[in-house]
Chains A and B, each alone.
Chain A
């Protein structure tokens, strides 16, 4: 049958564009950005019946140019906006920047400040993971698992509010230490609340992690083998769920993590269930770390080494990374001797984990999409920077 030329839609397209041949069996779904199961991003999913034949993640809807903004502000005024990509993990996303700036400026941090930083970072990790877990629960249709972590998260937020004065965007870490000392009697309150928090999150196993339907849904879905996890460059909980013992807190200890007894939680399966369980185990480990840090923290002393009013370093470049809630978060800071950094490159864990998504979704069922997608511990705003 000869093609009809006049009505052909492809003829009217501007040069350089073409229409893909679309199979009639394939339906293209734009999951997001206005979709309850997507977050601030889009996944272009092609489905054949109930099976996903192609998935194309399309981030970038919340790109705010944090890296470019950092070039026009000095080292101190960069702090509040650099924590904006992950406001509920603000201490951890700011940690590599602060460590890097300390290297560039050349400043020592008091011992007490290091412990305070560790406590704040671990509290903040719990806050982030609770938020993540709440969304994982509601993505699987488990509304109780949405409400419980969202409520228990308040315990950690209250502690952080006592420490820093802000509930979410703390801006607590600064080069040279932390902004202010712990309030009076903080250690007792913190210990009590962390113990209660640990008791609470252990209950999640009863309703969520040991739930037979959850296990049936998430086990053996989106399996990421150890080789693939390394090859795709995933980090954090995704890597540890695939059986690779990797944690920046142990491999490259920063501040006082080498003085504390830190364990990693490694699961071998590499499926969605393991990926959803590792952050929960991390929370329990964070509670242990906080308790150790509260024991070992020097009872008095300065928490801040004063900087010069407009600090600047030499011509230098530095790359520091920490273990954030989503894996290793690194910052590459280049200084050319001016008060403003020449370049700040953020390398968040989210973006690395997203790379695994199309590989994992291909061949899965459509119903597995939220279970696989959110188990990657991906935070769209952080990945877009």
Chain B
């Protein structure tokens, strides 16, 4: 072994550590600090109670309970938070990480084995972190005759496109979506249309045979399944008369569209499996035929990025299914409690003698009610709810439904073998497109019979 692996030497280790520290200091000094300064000078800082928050003031406020809530709230309602954390990429990446873990454990239970077990002591919950660390620490190997710029940029583009997809999904009522577009559904289709381009670019730029075949297969598969994917959603668009995803969700407050359009839901689900390259449609990554398909030449964190992107994409598709067919965030509010039990006058903090010495002037649910002055406004059914209540309850319902859909996306992997490319194209072009037209006719029939849609009896 000593021939292959160099011996551990403390001096080399220390030299490496000091080198890393040196570069970290250099980069922080030259890039990080100027960036923070530019942000502080030119960025728009929140104004809280008539006072402009500076960096120093913000630091002070964190330790001041009366002021901390408005400050955090201003952060929560900033665009950056939406893009990076909650309805945007961070939330999606968290669900993607959970998906990977659940997939491995569930598949293991299905196959009479244990799955990840040791890493993280409890059922291997830190396995994903370990895998990520391993991928980061591995060398990135680029094929000698690859088209290097495109090859480098393809995984990043893949993740970015998946993130763009995520940003179009409304998660909770009250505009909890990164980009609330009037043409939301069209934007979704536009973003989905980018995936085959990226796949083919990465496959072609690798200058290798198996990635090339995999890329061409992915192109075939994605392009031919995009048509049923789009057509299967048209029924909902006809009945709701809008392309805005938030409005589509609000139109399902009494019943989800899957009740009237099960065919469309089945077509969309099947096309979704194909777009996601999940078994039984994982032809572009069919390992016994073409090694790893278009992922063959990716190594290290480039492979990790593609995997992250594909699981974020999985979340986004599942969320789209929930938004369009399962009613998104709609559902009875069961948590947090009803409005009588919610603070109405602000949070009173008493000293040990019982005297009130501080009142946090934020009625409703602190942090989650957008405007303290108009907090009991929204009506759902017969009951009145605060916007914070609706937000939390909406997120819970949304996550529950999304997890259920993700479960059904993962399940075929343990049950079905891989399909063949000609069978796949046959399914896509003959059966799914025909079924999605049937779905459109059903929607039109319901519309003209006056049952659903604008002016309908429901």
Contact = CB atoms under 8 A, between A and B. Distances in A.
Interface string B158-174: 00000000000000000
A144 B110 contact: yes
A143 B417 CA distance: 8
B182 interface: no
Contact of B418 (A141, A146, A207): A141
Contact of B417 (A50, A211, A368): A211
Interface residues of chain A: helix, strand, loop or mixed (majority): helix
Nearest to B426: A216
A127 interface: no
A139 interface: yes
A217 interface: yes
Nearest to A142: B417
Question: Which of B209, B279, B283, B288 has its CB near the most chain A CB atoms (within 10 A)?
Answer: B288
A369 B421 CA distance: 13
A213 B111 CA distance: 19
Interface stretch (A29-37, A304-312, A321-329): A29-37
Contact of A367 (B111, B113, B421): B421
A213 B288 contact: no
Contacts of B112: 147-148, 151
A53 to B, nearest CB: 15
Interface size class on chain B is 20 to 34
B415 A141 contact: no
Interface centre among A145, A365, A367 (most CB of B within 10 A): A367
Contacts of B107: 143
A148 B286 CA distance: 21
B176 to A, nearest CB: 37
A365 B420 CA distance: 9
Q: Which of A36, A145, A213, A214 has the most CB of B within 10 A?
A: A213
A141 B422 contact: no
A293 interface: no
Contact of B280 (A36, A144, A213): A213
B423 A141 contact: no
Contacts of A27: 209, 213
A141 B280 contact: yes
B422 A217 contact: no
Contact of B419 (A151, A208, A213, A370): A213
A348 B289 CA distance: 27
A144 B111 contact: yes
A37 B289 CA distance: 6
Given A143-B111, A147-B112, A213 B417 contact: yes
B414 A141 contact: no
Nearest to A216: B423
B420 A367 contact: yes
A80 B286 CA distance: 38
A37 B296 CA distance: 14
Contacts of B423: 216-217
A29 B289 CA distance: 10
A179 to B, nearest CB: 33
Contacts of A216: 419-420, 423
A155 interface: no
A144 B414 contact: yes
Contacts of B279: 141, 143
Contacts of B289: 37, 366-367, 369-370
A140 interface: yes
B210 to A, nearest CB: 8
Nearest to B285: A141
A138 interface: yes
A176 interface: no
Contacts of A37: 287-289, 291
B334 to A, nearest CB: 37
B416 interface: yes
Interface in B326-375: none
A50 B287 CA distance: 16
A217 B111 contact: no
B417 A367 contact: no
Interface string A146-164: 1110010000000000000
Nearest to B420: A367
A141 B420 contact: no
A132 B111 CA distance: 17
Contact of A36 (B288, B413, B421): B288
A50 B217 CA distance: 10
Interface string A106-139: 0000000000000000000000000000000111
A221 to B, nearest CB: 9
Contacts of A214: 417
A285 B98 CA distance: 45
Interface string B390-420: 0000000000000000000000011111111
B424 to A, nearest CB: 9
B71 to A, nearest CB: 50
B282 A141 contact: yes
Given A143-B107, A213-B280, A365 B421 contact: yes
A365 to B, nearest CB: 6
Nearest to A152: B112
A213 B113 contact: no
Interface string B284-302: 0011111100000000000
A211 B419 CA distance: 12
Contact of A50 (B111, B413, B415, B422): B422
A368 B420 contact: yes
Interface string A344-374: 0000000000000000000001111110000
B85 to A, nearest CB: 35
Contacts of A144: 110-111, 414-415
Nearest to A28: B209
A207 to B, nearest CB: 7
Given A142-B416, A151-B113, A207-B415, A367 B209 contact: no
B14 to A, nearest CB: 38
Interface in A204-218: 207-208, 211, 213-214, 216-217
A340 to B, nearest CB: 38
A342 B365 CA distance: 92
B421 A145 contact: no
A76 to B, nearest CB: 36
Interface string A15-56: 000000000000101000001110000000000001000000
Contacts of B422: 50, 365, 367
A366 B291 CA distance: 13
A137 B279 CA distance: 13
18 contacts: A27-B209, A37-B291, A141-B280, A141-B286, A142-B418, A144-B111, A144-B414, A144-B415, A147-B112, A213-B280, A213-B418, A217-B423, A365-B420, A366-B289, A367-B286, A367-B420, A368-B420, A370-B289
Q: Nearest 10 A-B pairs (CB), nearest first?
A: A141-B418, A37-B288, A147-B111, A142-B417, A140-B417, A370-B288, A367-B420, A139-B288, A36-B287, A144-B414
